[in-house]
């Protein structure tokens, strides 16, 4: 199947020949894009946004403190810090710095990137800190003392691996990590869960659960809520199906008997289930509550907390001490309710103080002690406002972000395109009134996979780099995402993936029909799974676009399962080793859809050498093939940054400046003319960055 691929050598991530090829392509891109007269000034303005000291420092409550991780010009790698609510209310909060990642990186000679910490409940005195080398998914783990603000000598410590770890008690953790042959799944994630006691070798830790090698991963978790202490283990069968077990004190297990595609977790006396398929007479996308003990005894009588309709889907939910905050989306517009458990029923009412026509998200709650909540309120042209409130007592504005770009004359509209099969596909348009200006440069963004929803947000980088220059930005809510719940996602699974491509093309056609743009002024961008979408536009609908940018893209659909974490995505796309799936995978594979006799719009491919999720070989091989066929391609590969493409704000600003400069050069009338004059006939272009792709999630309640 792959014997005829002449570019397999580019899959050798750190091979001498491959890196020499990367260096040549990077130099071409630096000359063509970073050499643009306006590149330096744009990068400086974007770096200013990323480093701004008056950004909102979002926090997470852990006991008496609010924790925050912060990067700025002085701390490019960042500091982990905390404060109290009283101090946080001040315009200039007083922070206690716990860990300075820049200082640690300098002292140890490593390009450390913060990957979070798990703080031990209920004392909140120790943490398991996760650090990545230059942004990869693999991390080192070290125990940290929050009192002394130092790593614990002789504490829990693990070398680099795709580790999962969480507290059981003061001297014990559940851990899954790379311990040699048999300890990882085919996807490269932990296959076993061990109970590791302080002061003992991790290799000798008791194994309490094992997944199959063909599963995605295994996990273990202890709920330390007083009065509801329980332990759970489980396995991800694939990206969307899992099994969860109650681990009894004697070591035996009892399965939580819900559909394997449902999301399930315990909270105090409740078992909460989110349905991905119909069950117990309830439709896909419903949210159900059961009494935990009653459920384990065989009672299957649910309290229905949410039922979807064709326009409304569940967006999320968060617990406070006595309530459940429910977030729903109606045509991608957020609504929030408060549900209160009561004997025999749950009451519901709107959350007080939420402004209408805004994008609203729950930032944090305190499920252990209080009914407080933090809400972020924003919009495409509305900078974030952080509100703090207590259910039943109203809310207050804690922080307000300033405007980062000039939005004068800009509007926001929602339209619906009709896809090939008649499905109405929503999309947002942010930009000037094109009825007055005529068609103009337009950037269409999409993702379309893994049930990821694209909701309104204030994009300061896009505002400065694109909207201020007169461009229009468009967000397409295509199938494969979660904007209308699980059914919207499942409509584009496996062999049905072309529906996502058709939806995106329909939005492009609608933009042109409305006079917002023209094909030569319409660009498209996407990353990771969205990079696959960009590849599909390049090979299936090249006539619709004047330029395309694909970041950390997935492009070779016949080999993705053999590269890094690719095996974990078989449930999304199909299995190339299955003869039943291979035909549709080859058909949607952009790498195999290229041809010399069909025009392609100019394309910029961006990736990272340190991306250990989506292999950089996807972008490398695609660029090489495009060059071979005489198409216009630029390629940029950042040496660090992992799947995010950037390990600090300097890299992030550089990558964003590359993207927007490249697109403006080719889509604006003045930029296109200048580029045409600068590029000799037949010049082959070549570049790589990153946006997040899905990773297998741990069950609710395991994060810190």
Residue-by-residue DSSP string for 117-152:
EEEPTTT--EEEEEEEETT-S-EEEEEEETTTTEEP
Among 264-268, 420-424, 641-645, 686-690, the least confident range: 686-690
pLDDT in tens, 147-174: 999 999 999 999 999 999 999 999 999 9
pLDDT at 686: 32
At residue 354, the pLDDT reads 73
Count of alpha carbons within 13 Å of 183, Cβ hemisphere only? 17
State how far the Cα of 695 lies from the Cα of 690, in Å rounded to an integer.
14
Q: In Å, what is the CA distance from 185 to each residue of 192, 269, 391, 417?
A: 9, 33, 44, 42
pLDDT at 647 over 90: no
Q: What is the pLDDT of residue 11?
A: 97
**479's tokens:** 């199938």
Pairwise CA distance, residues 584 & 494, whole Å: 8
Q: For residue 599, which of 520, 678, 688 has the smallest C-alpha distance?
A: 520
The answer on pLDDT for 670 being more than 90 is: no
Percentage of the chain beyond pLDDT 70 is 94
Q: Indicate whether 689 pLDDT > 90.
A: no
Can you tell me the mean pLDDT for 398-414? 97
Residue in the block written with tokens 């105090």 = 268
Q: How far apart are CA 441 and CA 582, in angstroms?
A: 38
Reported pTM: 0.91
CA angle 443, 445, 447 (to 5 degrees): 165
Q: How confident is the model at residue 291 (pLDDT cuts 50, 70, 90)?
A: very high
For residue 357, what pLDDT is reported?
58
Residue 704 has pLDDT above 70, yes or no: no
**What stretches of 30-100 show up as alpha helix (H) in DSSP?**
39-51, 85-88
Model pLDDT, residue 671 = 60
Q: Both tokens of residue 513?
A: 């029909």
**25 φ/ψ angles, rounded to the nearest 5 degrees:** -65, -40
Q: Return the exposure string of 512-549: e unless at least 16 CB atoms fall within 10 Å of the residue's CB, then b.
A: beeebbbbbbbbbbbbbbbbbbbbbbbbbbbebbbbbb
Cα–Cα distance, 142 to 140 (Å, whole number) = 7
Q: What is the pLDDT of residues 91-102, one digit of tens each?
A: 999 999 999 999
Give the Cα separation of 588 and 314 in Å (integer). 30
* Rounded-to-integer distance, Cα 354 and Cα 333, Å: 13
Alpha-helical regions (H) of 30-67: 39-51
pLDDT at 286 exceeding the cut of 70: yes
pLDDT in tens, 46-73: 999 999 999 999 999 999 999 999 999 9
Domain 20-47+404-678: CATH architecture, name and number where available: 3-Layer(aba) Sandwich (3.40)
The average pLDDT across 246-275 equals 97
Q: 108: part of which helix (H) or strand (E)?
A: helix 101-108
- Average pLDDT (104-127) is 97
Give residue 2's pLDDT: 52
Over residues 588-637, the pLDDT tens digits come to 999 999 999 989 999 999 999 999 999 999 999 999 999 999 999 999 99
Per-position DSSP letters for 323-367, written without gaps between them: -EEEEEEETTEEEEEEEEEETTEEEEEEPTTPPTTSEEEEEEE-T
Helix (H, G, I), strand (E, B) or coil at 613: coil
**Are 687 and 606 a contacting pair, CB within 8 Å?**
yes
Whose structure tokens read 């194994």? 207
pLDDT of residue 118: 97
pLDDT at 400: 97
Interatomic CA distance for residues 329 and 539, integer angstroms? 33
**Ranges 378-387, 423-432, 645-654: which has the least confidence:** 645-654
Half-sphere exposure of 408 toward its Cβ, with a 13 Å CA cutoff? 2
- Tell me how crowded residue 486 is: count the other CB atoms within 10 A of its CB: 22
Helices (H) and strands (E) in the chain, counts: 15, 37
With a cut of 50, say whether residue 679 has pLDDT above it. no
The catalytic residue among 187, 384, 453, 528 is 528
pLDDT digits (tens, 9 = 90+) for 117-145: 999 999 999 999 999 998 889 999 999 99
Task: In whole angstroms, give the CA distance from residue 413 to residue 332.
Answer: 12
Encoding tokens for residue 257? 């008997």
Retrieve residue 339's tokens.
């549900």
pLDDT band of 4, cuts 50, 70, 90: confident
pLDDT at 697 over 80: no
Torsion over CA: 578, 581, 583, 586 (sign): negative
pLDDT at res. 215: 97
pLDDT tens digits for range 171-186: 999 999 999 999 999 9
User: Of 489, 615, 618, 643, which residue is the catalytic one?
Assistant: 643
Identify the pLDDT of residue 653: 97
Give the Cα separation of 668 and 524 in Å (integer).
Answer: 14
DSSP H helices in 484-613: 486-490, 498-513, 529-540, 570-573, 582-588
Question: Would you state the pLDDT for residue 533?
Answer: 98
Q: Residue 326: which of 307, 298, 301, 310 has the closest Cα?
A: 307
Q: Does residue 71 contact residue 648 with C-beta atoms inside 8 Å?
A: yes
* DSSP string across 378-412: EETTEEEEEEEEETTS-EEEEEEPPP-S--TTEEE
Mean pLDDT along residues 222-229: 95
Q: What is the mean pLDDT of residues 402-409?
A: 97
Residue 23 CB coordination number (10 Å): 11
Active site residue 318: no
Annotated active-site residue 643? The verdict is: yes
pLDDT digits (tens, 9 = 90+) for 471-481: 999 999 999 99
In the predicted model, what is the mean pLDDT of residues 526-530? 98
* pLDDT tier at 692, thresholds 50, 70, 90: very low
pLDDT value at residue 454: 96
Neighbours of 94 (CB within 10 A): 10
Q: Which of 203-212, 264-273, 693-702 has the lowest mean pLDDT?
A: 693-702
Strands 410-418 and 424-432: antiparallel
Q: How far apart are CA 623 and CA 47, in angstroms?
A: 28
**Mean pLDDT for the chain overall:** 93
The yes-or-no verdict on residue 246 having pLDDT over 60 is: yes
pLDDT at 370 over 60: yes
Name the pLDDT band for 352 (thresholds 50, 70, 90): confident
Q: Kindly indicate the confidence band of residue 1, based on its pLDDT and cuts at 50, 70 and 90.
A: very low
**Reduced 3-state DSSP string for 243-266:** EEEEECCCCCEEECCCCCCCEEEE
Spell out the domain ranges in the chain. 20-47+404-678, 163-255, 258-308, 311-403
């Amino acid at each position: 199947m792959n014997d005829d691929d002449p570019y397999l050598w580019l899959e050798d991530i750190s091979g001498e020949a491959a890196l020499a090829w990367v260096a040549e392509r990077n130099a071409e891109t630096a000359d063509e894009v970073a050499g643009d007269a306006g590149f330096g000034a744009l990068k400086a303005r974007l770096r200013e946004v990323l480093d701004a000291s008056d950004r909102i420092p979002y926090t997470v409550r852990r006991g008496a403190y609010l924790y925050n991780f912060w990067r700025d010009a002085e701390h490019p790698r960042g500091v982990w810090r905390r404060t109290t609510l009283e101090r946080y209310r001040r315009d200039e909060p007083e922070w206690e710095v716990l860990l300075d990642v820049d200082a640690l990186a300098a002292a140890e000679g490593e390009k450390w990137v913060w990957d979070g910490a798990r703080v031990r409940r209920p004392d909140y005195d120790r943490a398991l800190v996760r650090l990545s080398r230059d942004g990869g998914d693999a991390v080192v783990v070290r125990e940290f003392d929050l009192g002394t603000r130092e790593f614990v000598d002789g504490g829990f410590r693990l070398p680099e691996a795709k580790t999962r770890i969480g507290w059981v008690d003061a001297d014990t953790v559940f851990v899954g990590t790379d311990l040699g042959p048999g300890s990882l799944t085919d996807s490269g994630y932990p296959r076993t869960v061990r109970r590791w006691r302080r002061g003992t070798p991790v290799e000798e830790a008791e194994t309490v659960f094992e997944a199959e090698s063909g599963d995605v991963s295994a996990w273990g978790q202890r709920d330390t809520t007083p009065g509801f202490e329980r332990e759970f283990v489980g396995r991800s069968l694939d990206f969307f199906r899992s099994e969860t077990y109650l681990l009894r004190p004697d070591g035996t297990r009892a399965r939580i008997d819900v559909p394997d595609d449902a999301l399930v977790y315990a909270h105090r006396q409740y078992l909460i289930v989110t349905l991905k398929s119909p069950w117990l007479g309830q439709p896909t996308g419903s949210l159900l509550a059961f009494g935990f003990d009653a459920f384990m005894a065989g009672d299957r009588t649910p309290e229905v907390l949410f039922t979807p309709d064709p326009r409304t889907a569940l967006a999320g939910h968060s617990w406070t001490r006595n309530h459940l905050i429910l977030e729903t989306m109606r045509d991608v517009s957020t609504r929030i309710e408060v549900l209160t458990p009561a004997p025999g029923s749950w009451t519901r009412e709107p959350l007080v103080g939420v402004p209408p026509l805004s994008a609203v998200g729950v930032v944090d709650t305190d499920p252990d002690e209080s009914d407080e909540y933090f809400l972020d309120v924003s919009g495409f042209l509305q900078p974030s406002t952080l509100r703090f409130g207590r259910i039943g007592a109203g809310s207050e504005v804690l922080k307000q972000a300033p405007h980062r770009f000039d939005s004068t004359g800009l509007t926001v509209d929602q339209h619906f395109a009709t896809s090939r099969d008649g499905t109405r596909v929503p999309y947002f348009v942010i930009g000037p009134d094109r009825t007055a200006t005529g068609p103009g440069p337009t950037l269409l963004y999409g993702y379309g996979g893994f049930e990821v929803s694209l909701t309104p947000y204030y994009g300061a980088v896009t505002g400065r780099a694109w909207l201020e220059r007169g461009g229009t930005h468009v967000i397409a809510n295509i199938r494969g995402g979660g904007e209308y719940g699980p059914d919207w996602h499942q409509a584009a699974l496996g062999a049905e993936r072309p529906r996502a491509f058709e939806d995106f093309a329909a939005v492009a056609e609608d933009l042109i029909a409305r006079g917002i743009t023209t094909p030569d002024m319409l660009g498209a961008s996407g990353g990771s799974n969205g990079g696959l979408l960009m590849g599909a536009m390049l090979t299936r609908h090249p006539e619709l676009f004047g330029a395309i940018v694909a970041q950390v893209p997935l492009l070779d659909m016949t080999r993705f399962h053999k590269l890094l974490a690719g095996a974990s995505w078989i449930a999304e796309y199909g299995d190339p080793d299955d003869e039943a799936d291979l035909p549709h995978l080859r058909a949607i594979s952009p790498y195999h859809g290229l041809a010399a006799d069909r025009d392609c719009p100019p394309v910029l491919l961006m990736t990272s050498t340190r991306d250990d999720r989506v292999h950089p070989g996807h972008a490398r091989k695609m660029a090489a093939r495009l060059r071979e066929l005489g198409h216009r391609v630029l390629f940029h590969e950042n040496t660090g940054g992992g799947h995010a493409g950037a390990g600090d704000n300097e890299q992030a600003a550089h990558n964003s400046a590359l993207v927007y400069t490249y697109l403006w050069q080719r889509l604006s009338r003045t930029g296109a003319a200048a580029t045409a004059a600068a590029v000799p006939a037949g010049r082959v272009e070549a570049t790589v960055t990153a946006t997040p792709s899905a990773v297998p999630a741990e069950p609710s309640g395991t994060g810190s």
